[in-house]
Structure 1
Amino acid sequence: MGLDTPNHKPHDVLAGLLSGDMDRVNALIRQRMASRHAPRIPEVTAHLVEAGGKRLRPMLTLAAARMCGYEGDDHVKLAATVEFIHTATLLHDDVVDESEKRRGRPTANLLWDNKSSVLVGDYLFARSFQLMVETGSLRVLDILANAAATIAEGEVLQLTAAQDLRTSEDIYLQVVRGKTAALFSAATEVGGVIAGVEEAQIRALHDYGDALGIAFQIVDDLLDYQGDASSTGKNVGDDFRERKLTLPVIKAVAAASDEERRFWKRTIEKGDQRDGDLEEALRLLRLHGTLEATRDDALGWTEKAKASLGLLPESELRDLLIDLADFVVARVY
């Protein structure tokens, strides 16, 4: 499959294959984000939900269920649940990060206010639990509730780790597993659970989502230092300006001389950033080869994701999920 051809990107092909299910998911999302008493809720939610995101996480739930032969309706509810959880975390993240742009558009907290973003995020979390309960599966509820708790835990850990030069790659991975991979792995795992496949396959689906989510976040962090703002919706160096200690910088700090460490301490820990500091940060990342090393890490997680699907039956959907894992890292070539 030609990953470099715009019309054949794996997530686009996946969206086409799952278009009927996705139409039902989108209709359910619009129905459940309505509020008779608080019109601001659908206003704020629609701003994010209708922003043209790839809907990757709900598609993973639909794909996993269909790949496992599921023919019921609960995968639609679970896909909407996953999207609500994701949207709630985005609303909260933008408040925490004091962000002004997401997907190239103004954030909800900028257009409305922090209070609206936090409270509407809470509303979406509540809606997500209502939806998952409707499946009648305690196991599904357990998986998604654990994911929601892990996401919050990862965000809190990031608060203390993001500007601490002692943050190791292990702690970074723990943060990434929380804030990103937990929802990816839950999204794929619940698809296998409602399809009633054997435990080894459910575990394989979890492992695929976990590895894909880690690769996805590592690539996002890498694109911050070498991406194209027109396609990422972020400016190069946003993470540096926001003093986020991501994997490329963690690797550079580990290899730093005393003088270089003083630079990172001033810019990241103390937040004393001056003209030319971003250029110096980029020079140090290139000097120590940390961008290439970070990409290699992402490739390693991609390979783990692909290998885990070996336990699933051969199908077009399985091939697309393998291609999707490759495409995640292809963004940084």
Structure 2
Amino acid sequence: MNIKDVVASVAGEIEIFQQRYKVVLQGQNTLVDKVTRYVLKQQGKQIRPAMVLLAAQLCGGVNESSYRAAIMVELLHSATLIHDDVVDGAEMRRGLASINALWKNKISVLIGDYLLSKGLLYSLEYKDYGFLHMVSEAVRRMSEGEIFQIQKTRSLDISEADYLSVIADKTASLISSACAMGAMSATTDEVRIAALKSYGEYLGLAFQIRDDLLDYTGDSKKTGKQMGIDIKDKKITLPLIYALLHAPVAEQKMIRSILKSSRKRAVKSGEVIAFVTGKGGLVYAAEVAEGFAAKAVASISSFPESAAKTSLLRLVDFVMKREY
């Protein structure tokens, strides 16, 4: 199963979205236009705009407002990825050189700001104030989550509750907003909007935990990321948090000494992976992800059967089984 099969019920709508997104991205400055064309080349699976459209379809049907919501979500997502690459010093994004690798940090930050401002102005142009509130709240949560993660990474002191708070803000907030905005574009029913918002929040949590698991178990040819890259970047995720919590003090100290040293992290990430695997960290994280996936499914259980509902349920299955 691939993502195109999962979102097939809105395939035509996704094509319309893509055409309109290209138009919105165009800039008058030649450098801006050049970089934004490259941003389009980097586009991934575009799950978030697809979720906007599926949520709208589930709540009454895709309309002009739905396309605007999808465009706003993708503008924000692209902006945050560019900023993330600057923060992380990443040189690759989806198998291509990152924006900061090609145009350096100053241009990257400004392009990210440009995309964010495009989204905000776009919402004001059409008086989509509900969408503006939703994306502004997502930006706040994503920023706070990133700062909190940096703070905790420096001290190597992060609990499971801290980790879940970080991924809820950094990842689940935008997925949750995408689903809620899709619902808002098609209905005023607050119960339905809240249900889709919950679906997105739980799916986002499951998605990020699965993504963190792939750092330990994934095929780098499929994921586009080197195995163990989170360890080398000193990112402490749920499998490692669990393993440290259930290890003797001596082993904890040994692993923490590796994490504190960039030289050790570069050459001993395999030892950390073996440690996490041996302590059951991977199994535990997978169980937590399954729990959130089940909550996502339950969130939309009251909706009548439809092609859109089937796609959203398949999306949960796709997230839990994905290898890239």
Query: What interval of TM-score do these two structures reach, taking the shorter chain for normalisation?
Result: over 0.9
Match of 1:114 among 105, 109, 116: 105
Contact 2:54 2:311 in 1 (8 A): no
Aligned-residue offset at 1:275: 6.6
Contact 1:78 1:131 in 2 (8 A): no
- 1:94-149 deviation line (CA, Å, top 9, x unaligned): 00000111112211111111111100000000001122224423222211211111
Aligned-residue offset at 1:21: 1.8
> Which runs of no fewer than 5 residues in structure 2 stay unpaired?
none
Contact 1:65 1:195 in 2 (8 A): yes
Match of 2:215 in 1: 224
Match of 1:280 in 2: 271
Contact 2:156 2:236 in 1 (8 A): yes
> Which runs of no fewer than 5 residues in structure 1 stay unpaired?
4-8
Match of 1:321 among 289, 312, 319: 312
1:51 aligns with 2:42: yes
Match of 1:211 among 196, 202, 205: 202
CA distance in 2 between counterparts of 1:134 and 1:256 reads 55
1:28 aligns with 2:26: no
CA distance in 2 between counterparts of 1:138 and 1:113 reads 34
Aligned-residue offset at 1:50: 2.1
User: CA, structure 1 residues 274+176, in 2 after alignment: closer, same or farther (shift >3 Å)?
Assistant: closer
1:123 aligns with 2:114: yes
One-letter amino acid of the structure 2 residue matched with residue 55 of structure 1 = Q
TM-score normalised to the size of structure 2?
0.95
CA distance in 2 between counterparts of 1:191 and 1:21 reads 13
User: CA, structure 1 residues 238+274, in 2 after alignment: closer, same or farther (shift >3 Å)?
Assistant: closer
TM-score normalised to the size of structure 1?
0.92
* Bigger mean CA offset, 225-234 vs 41-50: 41-50
Counterpart secondary structure, 2:304: coil
Contact 1:88 1:124 in 2 (8 A): yes
Aligned-residue offset at 1:283: 1.5
User: CA, structure 1 residues 71+218, in 2 after alignment: closer, same or farther (shift >3 Å)?
Assistant: closer
Match of 1:184 in 2: 175
CA distance in 2 between counterparts of 1:332 and 1:295 reads 13
Contact 1:205 1:308 in 2 (8 A): yes
CA distance in 2 between counterparts of 1:103 and 1:151 reads 21
Match of 2:281 among 287, 290, 293: 290
Counterpart secondary structure, 2:225: coil
CA distance in 1 between counterparts of 2:15 and 2:266 reads 48
Match of 2:303 in 1: 312
RMSD (Å) for aligned C-alpha atoms:
1.7
CA distance in 1 between counterparts of 2:266 and 2:135 reads 45
Contact 1:67 1:317 in 2 (8 A): yes
Comparing both structures, which one devotes a greater share of its residues to helix? Answer: 2
Contact 1:25 1:79 in 2 (8 A): yes
What is the aligned-residue identity percentage? 35
Match of 2:5 among 13, 32, 35: 13
Match of 1:78 in 2: 69
One-letter amino acid of the structure 1 residue matched with residue 207 of structure 2 = F
Counterpart secondary structure, 1:136: coil
Contact 2:53 2:62 in 1 (8 A): no
Aligned-residue offset at 1:272: 4.4
User: CA, structure 1 residues 275+54, in 2 after alignment: closer, same or farther (shift >3 Å)?
Assistant: closer
Match of 1:234 in 2: 225
Aligned-residue offset at 1:331: 2.3
User: CA, structure 1 residues 56+15, in 2 after alignment: closer, same or farther (shift >3 Å)?
Assistant: same
Alignment of 1:119-158 (within 5 A): 119-158=110-149
CA distance in 2 between counterparts of 1:71 and 1:48 reads 26
- 1:7-47 deviation line (CA, Å, top 9, x unaligned): xx3x21244332322222222221122111x2222322232
User: CA, structure 1 residues 274+92, in 2 after alignment: closer, same or farther (shift >3 Å)?
Assistant: closer
1:170 aligns with 2:152: no
Counterpart secondary structure, 1:311: coil
CA distance in 1 between counterparts of 2:201 and 2:178 reads 10
CA distance in 2 between counterparts of 1:84 and 1:275 reads 34
CA distance in 2 between counterparts of 1:42 and 1:217 reads 32
